[in-house]
């Protein structure tokens, strides 16, 4: 058998790393080191490789390309030995946003180096802080030049709005519009322009004012608008704001104020009971103050005056049906129309002397009264319960209720009322005074002492004043009138 022996090597073999022999391009094509060095001339291969890696330190701002987007982080290629990581919280000044809403693959973005190498060996970056640093420089220049910033409203916070102007700018609620705005929610998602009124980088504080921008940009427009606005004009507008003392109306160029006293002919407890934001209204211009740039408006001036309507439809000496709304030491107020009240002086409450109104009347009672005087200018109507008992012409609006056949050509009541279907339980002295009269006419009267829970329901319509059929005027109304 032939023995085969393997000669021992005389020299050890040293393998050269392929990276030192040359390099591969993106397509996998190998280029020898010598060729590369020949192309580079005096620059060594190692130096050429090191020159491709970006040099930076913590706090520097670098540029890179987005190579990966996850929900909570983004990878950025900045030309370093490894990609940089931008955590989700460092992507935007907005809170709780999806990374896909901020960047997409292939975007070139700037980022600030937070850590060149963290505990896990990662390069940690911040897009938000790079944006913040850039924005401060721009904002400082804008404030010095008294310029304007523009940004998206991203949050409603206590006392105002947060605008994205490269950093978080605070816009107080009182400075959002020319007037105070109560509901700030509709501003979310809107892009607004504003002036910078306070800037403190140490405190990270930027305060904005949209009102200052509006005042500046609208000054010329407002002047022209006011010149063309004349007192007495009727204008169309939209309710833009409701406050305790009235309502503001957008006239299409400026806002005017309708004071609470000019909202309605009726008493108004609060403007919100009459108008709401967004209502389209017709108003009359009362006054234009050029110096203070204020417009006074009236809503009620464009509406019918109920007092004038009452005065046009009635005359002194007529009988009207009313309800006692309030007793005062000197008499009783009686509502005789929608929003119309007249006074029955204590001397006109009964034929006999009355010391106190509550002796013969109570709030809520309904009864016939005679119109003594209508003072339209002073908004006063004088009434009489006592004279109503003497008869007279019934106001036209009541005639239909009893039928036109019951009145003569002058409006005097000549018909007889059918009491046979009436059940009546007196509750007051004034009502008891007419119980005998009604019972004599056929009504069923329940004695006061037999009451078991309230009087029976009266007729659906007020009792017409009753007189002898042959009389030309009313002698006595079949309604509540004080007893002798």
DSSP letters, 278-330, are T-EEEEEEEEEETTTTEEEEESGGGS--HHHHHHHH--TTEEEEEEEEEEETT
Predicted pLDDT at 93: 72
Rounded average pLDDT over 83-101: 78
15 has pLDDT over 50: no
Predicted pLDDT at 483: 40
Nearest to 167 by CA among 198, 111, 205: 205
Rounded average pLDDT over 343-365: 91
274 has pLDDT over 80: yes
Rounded average pLDDT over 385-400: 78
Condensed to tens digits (0 to 9), the pLDDT of residues 300-324 reads 989 888 888 888 888 898 888 899 9
Predicted pLDDT at 345: 93
465 has pLDDT over 60: no
Cα–Cα distance for residue pair 75/384, rounded to 1 Å = 91
CB 411 within 8 A of CB 433: no
Q: DSSP label at 261?
A: G
Predicted pLDDT at 290: 85
pLDDT classification of 477: cutoffs 50, 70, 90: very low
Neighbour-count burial of 91, counting CB atoms closer than 10 A to its CB (0-12 exposed, 13-18 middle, 19+ buried): buried
Q: Higher-confidence residue: 95 or 370?
A: 370
Rounded average pLDDT over 152-172: 90
CB 249 within 8 A of CB 234: no
Domains defined along the chain, listed by start: 29-141 (2.40.50.140), 146-214 (2.40.50.140), 230-302 (2.40.50.140), 324-484 (2.40.50.140)
Predicted pLDDT at 101: 73
pTM: 0.39
Nearest to 84 by CA among 104, 49, 101, 109: 109
Predicted pLDDT at 100: 77
Rounded average pLDDT over 283-310: 89
Predicted pLDDT at 86: 84
Q: DSSP label at 276?
A: -
Cα–Cα distance for residue pair 468/475, rounded to 1 Å = 8
What is the average pLDDT score of the chain?
76
Please list, in sequence order, all residues whose beta carbon lies within 8 angstroms of the beta carbon of residue 77, skipping any fewer than 6 positions away: 64, 65, 67, 83, 84
Predicted pLDDT at 61: 80
CA distances from 123 to 99, 119, 160, 404 (A): 18, 10, 37, 99
Q: Higher-confidence residue: 55 or 113?
A: 113
**CA end-to-end span of the chain:** 162
Predicted pLDDT at 125: 87
């Amino acid at each position: 058998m032939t023995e085969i022996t393997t000669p021992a090597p005389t020299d050890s073999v040293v393998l050269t790393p392929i990276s030192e022999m040359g390099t591969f391009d993106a397509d996998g094509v190998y280029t020898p080191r010598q060729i590369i060095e020949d192309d580079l001339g005096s620059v060594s291969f190692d130096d050429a490789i090191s020159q491709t890696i970006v040099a930076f330190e913590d706090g520097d701002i670098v540029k890179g390309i987005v190579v990966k987007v996850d929900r909570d982080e983004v990878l950025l290629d900045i030309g370093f030995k490894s990609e940089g990581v931008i955590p989700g919280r460092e992507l935007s000044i907005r809170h709780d946003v999806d990374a896909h809403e901020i960047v997409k693959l292939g975007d070139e973005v700037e980022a600030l180096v937070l850590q060149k190498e963290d505990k896990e060996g990662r390069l940690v970056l911040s897009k938000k802080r790079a944006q913040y640093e850039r924005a401060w420089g721009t904002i400082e220049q804008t404030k010095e030049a008294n310029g304007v910033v523009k940004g998206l409203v991203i949050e409603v916070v206590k006392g105002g709005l947060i605008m994205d102007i490269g950093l978080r700018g605070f816009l107080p609620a009182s400075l959002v519009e020319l007037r105070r705005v109560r509901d700030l929610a509709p501003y979310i998602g809107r892009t607004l322009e504003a002036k910078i009124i306070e800037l403190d980088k140490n405190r990270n504080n930027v305060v904005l004012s949209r009102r200052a921008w509006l005042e500046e940009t609208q000054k010329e427009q407002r002047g022209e608008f006011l010149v063309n606005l004349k007192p007495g004009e009727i204008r169309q507008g939209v309710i833009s704001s409701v406050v305790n003392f009235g309502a503001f109306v957008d006239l299409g160029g400026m806002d005017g104020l309708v004071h609470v006293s000019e909202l309605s002919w009726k008493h108004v407890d609060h403007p919100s009971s009459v108008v709401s934001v967004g209502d389209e209204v017709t108003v009359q211009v009362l006054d234009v103050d050029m110096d203070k740039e204020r417009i006074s408006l009236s809503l009620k001036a464009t509406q019918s005056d109920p007092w004038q309507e009452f005065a046009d439809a009635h005359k002194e000496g007529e009988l009207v049906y009313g309800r006692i709304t309030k007793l005062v030491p000197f008499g009783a107020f009686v509502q005789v129309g929608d929003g119309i009240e007249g006074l029955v002086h204590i001397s006109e409450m009964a034929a006999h002397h009355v010391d106190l109104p509550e002796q013969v009347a109570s709030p809520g009672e309904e009864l016939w009264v005679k119109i003594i005087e209508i003072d339209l200018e002073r908004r006063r109507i004088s009434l009489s319960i006592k004279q109503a008992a003497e008869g007279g012409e019934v106001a036209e609006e009541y005639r239909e209720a009893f039928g036109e056949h019951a009145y003569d050509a002058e409006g005097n009541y000549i018909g007889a009322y059918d009491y046979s279907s009436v059940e009546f339980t007196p509750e007051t002295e004034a009502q008891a005074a007419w119980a005998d009269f009604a019972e004599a006419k056929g009504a069923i009267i329940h004695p006061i002492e037999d009451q078991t829970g309230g009087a029976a329901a009266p007729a659906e319509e007020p009792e017409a004043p009753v007189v002898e059929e042959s009389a030309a005027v009313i002698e006595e109304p079949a309604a509540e009138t004080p007893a002798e």
